[in-house]
Amino acid sequence: MTEKEKMLSGQLYDASDTELEAERHCARLIFQDINTMGDAKKEMRNKLFYKLFGKAGKGLWVEPPFYCDYGYNIEVGEKVFMNFNCCILDVMKVKMGNNVLLGPNVQIYTATHPMEAKSRAEWLEYAKPVTIGNDVWIGGAAVICPGVTIGNGVVIGAGAVVTKDVPNNVFVGGNPAKVIREIDN
């Protein structure tokens, strides 16, 4: 099994593998171009996001700067907006539904490291996918941790750290994020 196959299956893998380093390098070249383009080149910038992401529906709007690991593990539905300075560590799939809004400085992580110091010292890592439903608003500076699934119609408060799955139609906030109230959608 290659390191990439291990990575995509959620097993411990070596991120310094040459194939993975090359793929991250390609993604960086694309998002670095994106991040240096002004609004006068917005159309070209948008085309590069469609090239970078594994799948993207109509109406994708991303404000640079933007950062990711691979890009091809990001799949978004229609009418997805990401505000300034979003970072998606897409070692595994990050799937977003339709009508998803990310505030500035939102961070979505699939990458994680072993709890055991010996494995961490070997620079091994693994990942857990993140899934975000339809009609979700994630407030500025929120962090979505590895393995989290966020339901439909959810609002995540600014600065929240989401460590566990979130059911449909709720407002969550805090660190760690907790359900604050239901939303009548």
Active site residues: 113
Cα separation, 130 vs 31, in Å, equals 21
First to last CA, the chain: 45
- Please state, in angstroms and rounded to a whole number, the distance separating the CA atoms of residues 45 and 62: 9
The tokens for 37 are: 């383009």
> In whole angstroms, what is the distance from residue 121 CA to residue 150 CA?
32
